[in-house]
Amino acid sequence: MMMDIPVKPADVTFTDAQWKAIWATGKDVLVSAAAGSGKTKVLITRMIEKVLSEHNPIDVDELLVVTFTNAAAAEMRHRMAEALEEAIAVNPDSIHLRRQLSLLNKAQISTLHSFCLNVVRQYAYLIDIDPGFRIADSTEAALLRDDTIGEVLEDAYNADNPEAMYRLADSFTSDRNDQSIETLIDRLYDYSRVHPSPERWLRMIPMQYELDEEVTIDELDFIGPLKT
Ligand SMILES: Nc1ncnc2c1ncn2[C@@H]1O[C@H](COP(=O)(O)OP(=O)(O)O)[C@@H](O)[C@H]1O
Ligand SMILES: [Mg+2]
């Protein structure tokens, strides 16, 4: 569905591409441009135009705006306030506009993380999480991870068929504790997290070792890069 966008007035400095991005509707829009080229300006103008719309005005707290950093969220909120004040100066009698300034306080303009945190907290009862949960700091998270790895290894040693675990230990530890295996698992976990499907990546690794008897070491996929 392609709607006609307003004709760009002669006195605005927006480029044609900016103007299109401000008014695009009925589809997803991706704006990619250099720093300082006017992305935030376009986004703020998009928001303002939705609030000012003659046919279908919305309230600022109906928008969801997420950023990566707190600083960017604060900037968005600040620039939205400025844009509203400019609009009020042009249109001082608008009750709708004045209401927006007070609604701005509870508008959903935040980092992605804090938005997600709010959603999880609000709907904690649906996913069976203690609503009093909090975010672990990195030290605490590292301790929890260590405990978990310890428990997983313990279970592997106590499993009905612990041979694989003993082979793993023989291959990767030289001493009496499993520290080097734990470090290895830690690193694998961290590496896996940068992939879009961490679990799939982890499951793929062992497949590189599923080889016919007659395959020589030089034929292995990962030997080339290692030798260069
Ligand atoms: N078409 C334009 N003409 C003049 N100034 C512009 C234009 N687009 C953006 N600006 C101004 O350029 C500056 C940087 O814009 P900003 O939206 O912060 O860039 P970005 O978010 O892409 O880093 C702002 O002061 C903005 O008002
Ligand atoms: Mg910006």
Ligand 2 centre distance from Cα of residue 41 (Å):
7
Last residue of a domain, one of 74, 93, 126: 126
> What type of residue sits at position 4?
D
Residue 8 falls inside a structural domain: no
Q: Domain range for residue 197?
A: 138-227
Ligand 1 atom nearest to 41, measured from its CA: 17
Instruction: Report how far residue 60's alpha carbon sits from residue 113's, in angstroms, rounded to the nearest whole number.
Output: 20
Ligand nearest to the CA of 44: 1
What CATH number does residue 154 fall under? 1.10.274.50
Instruction: Report how far residue 106's alpha carbon sits from residue 63's, in angstroms, rounded to the nearest whole number.
Output: 11
Residue 2 falls inside a structural domain: no
Same domain, 147 and 93: no
Domain count, the chain: 2
Ligand 1 centre distance from Cα of residue 40 (Å):
7
Instruction: Report how far residue 169's alpha carbon sits from residue 179's, in angstroms, rounded to the nearest whole number.
Output: 10
What CATH number does residue 35 fall under? 3.40.50.300
Stated as kind and residue range, the H or E segment containing 124 is: none
- At 202, list the tokens: 């982890």
pLDDT of 38-92, one tens digit each? Answer: 999 999 999 999 998 988 999 999 999 999 999 999 999 999 999 999 999 999 9
Same domain, 48 and 72: yes
Residue 74 falls inside a structural domain: yes
Q: Which residues line ligand 1 (CB under 6 A)?
A: 13-15, 18, 33, 35-41
pLDDT of 119-159, one tens digit each? Answer: 999 999 999 888 888 888 999 999 999 999 999 999 999 99
Ligand 2 centre distance from Cα of residue 31 (Å):
11
| Count of alpha carbons within 13 angstroms of residue 184, beta-carbon side | 11
Contact between 82 and 101 under an 8 Å Cβ cutoff? The reply is no
Instruction: Report how far residue 174's alpha carbon sits from residue 70's, in angstroms, rounded to the nearest whole number.
Output: 46
